[in-house]
């Protein structure tokens, strides 16, 4: 595959992953300022650290969509940053995830700017989508 074709392919993958997150109701954050504004809002905020990582990303986005639309209890705000694409925004978001190494895809649940819990890549990768839905719903029930 030529380099130009590969770039078009990767752009397609990124656009698809971004659209899946937006269609699930996540507000896209692309700058550090947007991240600070969103993550310090009062209330609970679910952050999806989006990624083009094949299997884990393909599980995380649909699981988040399902969990948000099928849960009685859910976070007040849902936002996303894109690892490997919006690097500064992702780095800023990760600065809120104290005690956790960078992980993508992953989910962070915050309240009033303070981290409550994380669901890291190793908890997503190799899981069935419904297992990730259950982890998210359990976090919503406990913290929202």
Report the catalytic residues.
53, 55
60-64 long-range CB contacts below 8 Å, 24 or more apart?
60/105, 60/106, 60/107, 60/124, 60/132, 61/17, 61/20, 61/21, 61/24, 61/105, 62/20, 62/129, 63/124, 63/129, 63/130, 63/132, 63/133, 63/136, 64/21, 64/24, 64/26, 64/107, 64/132, 64/136
Cα gap 115→105, rounded to integer Å: 17
State the CB neighbour count (10 A cutoff) for residue 112. 12
């Amino acid at each position: 595959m030529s380099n130009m074709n590969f770039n078009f392919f990767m752009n397609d993958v990124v656009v698809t992953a971004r659209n899946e997150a937006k269609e699930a109701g996540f507000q896209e954050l692309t700058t550090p300022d947007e991240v600070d504004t969103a993550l310090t809002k009062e209330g609970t905020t679910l952050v999806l650290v989006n990624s083009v990582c094949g299997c884990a990303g393909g599980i995380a986005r649909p699981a988040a969509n399902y969990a948000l639309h099928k849960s009685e209890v859910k976070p007040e705000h849902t936002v996303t940053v894109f690892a490997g694409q919006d690097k500064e925004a992702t780095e800023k978001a990760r600065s809120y995830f104290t005690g956790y190494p960078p992980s993508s895809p992953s989910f962070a649940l915050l309240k009033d700017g303070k981290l409550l819990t994380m669901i890291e890549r190793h908890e997503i990768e190799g899981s069935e989508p419904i297992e990730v839905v259950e982890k998210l719903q359990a976090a919503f029930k406990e913290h929202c």
